[in-house]
Amino acid sequence: MTGVSHSVLSGADLLGLFAHFLILSLLAVGGALTTAPGMHRYVVEQHHWLSDAQFSASVALAQAAPGPNVLFVAVIGWNVAGPLGALATMVGTLLPSTALTLLVTRWGARRRDTRGMRAFTTGLTPLTIGLLVATGWLLARPYVVDGAHALGTLALIALAIAAMLKTRLSPMWLVGAGALVGAFGWV
């Protein structure tokens, strides 16, 4: 991203960034994007390494790019502290989740038909939805509070929710429509 100057973080700050993303990784039920509010709290509200707009732009840029959903973590790290920040956030995010996934997958495959395992996987659905709604609100908030864009942003959110609930339309069409709306400055 242009216009973002990388902070020069101390070794302790980089270790703290790594550790925070490491812990958030263990809470990432439904994907790394569900922990965006925790990331925002740490890099924007607590340490002021990024502004609200820079954080939202970091997530939006990575989500618009082809590739894995988790790329936004590297963009946030890069915008905080350059290559070392990207390394700290990505390794912090990927290390525990990958190790835990490998262990739990093996364990769960042997117990998939038990009542406890079925209850656990069923219970994760509302948790994941709630985390995604919180992330969506966090990303939309800067545009909702901006008086010039509030009405259009809320209308776009309502249309997207209605389309998801009432149709079998691929979410990618909604992402594309949102990109067009933003590109033309309609919201």
- φ and ψ at 111, to 5 degrees? -125, 20
Residue 166 lies in a domain: no
Q: E strands of 100-151, at which residues?
A: none
Predicted pLDDT at 5: 56
- Mean residue pLDDT of the chain comes to 87
Domain that holds residue 25: 11-114
Residue 153 belongs to a domain? no
- What are the CA-CA distances from residue 20 to residues 43, 62, 70, 85, 123 (Å)? 10, 20, 16, 12, 26
Q: Residue 76 and residue 66: Cα distance in Å, rounded?
A: 17
Q: Is residue 63 part of a domain?
A: yes
If we measure between CA atoms, which residue out of 87, 94, 124, 85 comes closest to residue 25?
94
> Is position 80 within any domain?
yes
How many structural domains is the chain composed of? 1
Residue 151 lies in a domain: no
Please give the structure tokens belonging to residue 80.
């905080």
When pLDDT is averaged across residues 157-169 and rounded to a whole number, the result is: 88
What is the value of pTM for the model shown? 0.61
Average pLDDT of span 106-135? 86
**175 located within any domain:** no
Asked, for residue 168, whether it belongs to a domain, the answer is no
Asked, for residue 77, whether it belongs to a domain, the answer is: yes
| 42: exposed, middle or buried (Cβ count in 10 Å: 0-12, 13-18, 19+) | buried
